[in-house]
Every structure is written in structure tokens, then in C-alpha cells.
Amino acid sequence: MVTLRLFNGSKTKEAWNRDSPEFVDDWKPEARDILADAVQVSYGQTVTVTIDDEQRLYFFDGDLLDVDGVYYGDFEILSDEDARPTPSPSVSPRAAAVIERFSSAAQKHGWEADQGSSESAADALRHFESARTELISLVSYLEGEAKRGADK
């Protein structure tokens, strides 16, 4: 497993245009992580992410990477050893993939706060993170119950 970590995301490309009223010069440190089996960057034009034998293709728009309608200015690819640990119970790689799909779907439908967001968008992001943490805890609990049942 590897992690594609995306930084400096905005729902509009104007966030990078100094002449635009949407210009953002105080980027927040939040990042979006996508857990994947493999990540491939081709000719600086596409990024292919492979999760459970399914490939997702993302394209650069100029020098910004478009991922589910959010434009990212920066990204990095991390090995399991390099990715920062999440402060949540550990779950299996399969459960992590389910959680990532939940996260991606929620972000695609507006849960991810734009970097120049209003307070209501920031509240929505806090709510999403709380729901995500609850999902991780529930999956961890259910996996533990399944393991205890299998051990009997």
C-alpha cells in the first residue's frame, strides 16, 4: 500500500491567481490522503491510482491536479513507512480501502472544505471528520468481534 497525499486543494483554479478575488495566500495545512495499491504519474499529465485492481485516472489542468473536482497544487506519494499514522484504531487494508472510498465519496459531494472556505464549510468538514472517525472505530470494533468469533 502507498498513500497519495494531496495538498493545497481548491474547488476553483482562481485560488492560485493573484489578480483574482478568490486568490488564497494562507493555505491551510490539511491534506487529503488516498490509500492505494499503486500510484503512477505519466509524463506530468496523468496520475493513475490503483485500488483493489480498479484504476482511477486523474488529469492535470495546467500545473494543477484535478481530483474529483478539487484542484490540488501539490502532492506526494508515500510508502507505508513514510505516511504519518492516523490517530485512530488500526484496521485491515480492506477496511481502510472501504473507509477511503467513504471519504472520497463524501469529499466529492462537498464535504471537503475549500481552502478559502466560509465558516459553514469548515463546520461541514468538522462534521465529516467526526463521522469518519466514528466509521473507523466501528469498523475496528466489528473486525475485532469477527476475529474473536473466528477464534472460538
Beta strand 70-79 pairing with 2-10: antiparallel
* Residue 31, C-alpha cell as written in the block: 491534506
Which structural domain range is residue 140 located in? 2-151
The number of distinct structural domains making up the chain is 1
Q: In the prediction, which pLDDT does 118 show?
A: 46
Give the global pTM: 0.51
Q: Residues of the chain whose pLDDT is less than 50?
A: 85-88, 111-118
Q: In the prediction, which pLDDT does 87 show?
A: 44
How much is the mean pLDDT over the chain? 75
Q: In the prediction, which pLDDT does 117 show?
A: 43
Q: In the prediction, which pLDDT does 47 show?
A: 92
